[in-house]
Structure 1
Amino acid sequence: MYLLHVKNIYDVGNDYYMVHIEDHGINSHKREVRKAVKEAFASLRKAINTYRLLPEYAERYRSDERYSVKGNYWCLHKQLLLQFASWLEFTAPLETLLWEAKLHAEQQYYSFHEPYRVSQANVDNALRFFGLDHSATQEDLKRQYRQLVKLYHPDTGGDEATFKKLQTAHTILKTHLRSNTLVS
């Protein structure tokens, strides 16, 4: 039997994983390979659908709308994935890939939900770079930023490194003035 190659696994929550199956064999010039890949996709899809309709699993899979086996991206419960792991070829052990997918999902969640915070030292340095004091407003920042961009932009003869510092300082001050969040 032809093993389907798993390109990536993504954690989508509640022990469900999005499995990206590579279909490079479909575009093969060899008819036998194309036929084997299509048969493997069809056989696995049929086996998964049969398994999920067994009485002990039917309730769970009928009620969950995230479950799907369509195209190259299959959303499967961990239990189904483990059951049919022998039909798939992975780049590493399956448990390792599932752990990495969960870790990656957690990192994305926390980086997205954590507010961007800046330290007082960074704010002080950015204010000094712009020549502003702590009572500066958004309008003061905008006015000073426009003047410094004209001065430091590489297209107008400015230094690229200084322009990057300007961009960083601007981001810090914009964040600070908008949310006023500081890390001590």
Structure 2
Amino acid sequence: MYLLHVKNIYDVGDDYYTIHIEDHGINSHNREVRQSVKKAFADLRKAINAYRLLPEYAELYRVDERYSVKGNYWCLHKQLLLHFAAWLNFPAPLETMLWEARIRAEQQYYSFQEPAQVSQVGVDKALQFFGLDHTATQEDLKRRYRQLVKRYHPDTGGDEAKFKTLQYAHSILKAHIKSDALVG
């Protein structure tokens, strides 16, 4: 079975995610590769349509009409996405991509609000990623950030997905520590 390549995942709220399937095989000069990609798209679409009608998924889609398949952008509930993850090839672990999508959505939302108002869940996950607790100071964050940059930076052989996660988590914690939101 041909795995479709996911370029990015976007959080659209209420546990719904839009996945961007970027598969250049459709433009391949090799006819067999093009047919494999087209067949994989069609098979996945059929399987998702069949599963979303099952009672456990139908309830999710009856309330909200977010399910859609438009070209390479597919909007799915998290349960359905997790169920069909084996049909897709992700550039990073799926849980990391979902967490990054949530953080990006929060950053986008709060860019119109006060920058220090990221949800407590986002702060807790960022603290967990850094291995810090709520009593962390700016110096603690700076020291731990430098250690993790050395470990995860792609130029030093680190994991690019974890490095991106590090950058998001750092931006959240930096704003909260400056506002003394973590103390107490």
Shorter-normalised TM range: 0.5 to 0.7
Report the counterpart of residue 41 of structure 1 in structure 2.
41
- Alignment coverage as a number of residue pairs: 115
Report the counterpart of residue 67 of structure 1 in structure 2.
67
d(CA) in 1 for partners of 2:106, 2:22: 25
Q: Which deviations, in whole Å up to 9, do the C-alpha atoms of 1:11-61 show, x marking residues without a partner?
A: 110000110001311110000000000000000000001000012221321
- Please state how far the C-alpha of 1:92 moved relative to its aligned partner: 0.6
- Normalised by the length of structure 2, the TM-score is 0.60
Following TM superposition, the consecutive aligned residue runs of length 4 or more in structure 1 with deviations greater than 6 angstroms are: none
- Please state how far the C-alpha of 1:114 moved relative to its aligned partner: 2.9
Q: Which deviations, in whole Å up to 9, do the C-alpha atoms of 1:90-128 show, x marking residues without a partner?
A: 01100000001001110111112238xxxxxxxxxxxxx
d(CA) in 2 for partners of 1:57, 1:27: 33
- Normalised by the length of structure 1, the TM-score is 0.60
- Please state how far the C-alpha of 1:64 moved relative to its aligned partner: 1.4
d(CA) in 1 for partners of 2:6, 2:83: 15
Decide whether the 8 Å contact of 2:57 with 2:80 is kept in 1: no
Q: Over alpha carbons, which structure has the higher Rg?
A: 1
Q: Unaligned stretches of 5+ in structure 2? A: 116-184
Report the counterpart of residue 6 of structure 2 in structure 1.
6
d(CA) in 2 for partners of 1:12, 1:55: 23
d(CA) in 2 for partners of 1:70, 1:56: 24
Q: Unaligned stretches of 5+ in structure 1? A: 116-184
d(CA) in 1 for partners of 2:60, 2:78: 13
d(CA) in 2 for partners of 1:77, 1:56: 12
Correspondence list, 1:74-153, <5 A: 74-114=74-114
Aligned amino acid, residue 18 of structure 2:
M
d(CA) in 1 for partners of 2:102, 2:36: 32
d(CA) in 2 for partners of 1:48, 1:86: 13
Aligned amino acid, residue 70 of structure 1:
K
Determine if the alignment matches structure 1 residue 23 to structure 2 residue 23: yes
d(CA) in 2 for partners of 1:107, 1:3: 31
SS in 1 for 2:66: coil
How high is the sequence identity, in percent, across the aligned residues? 83
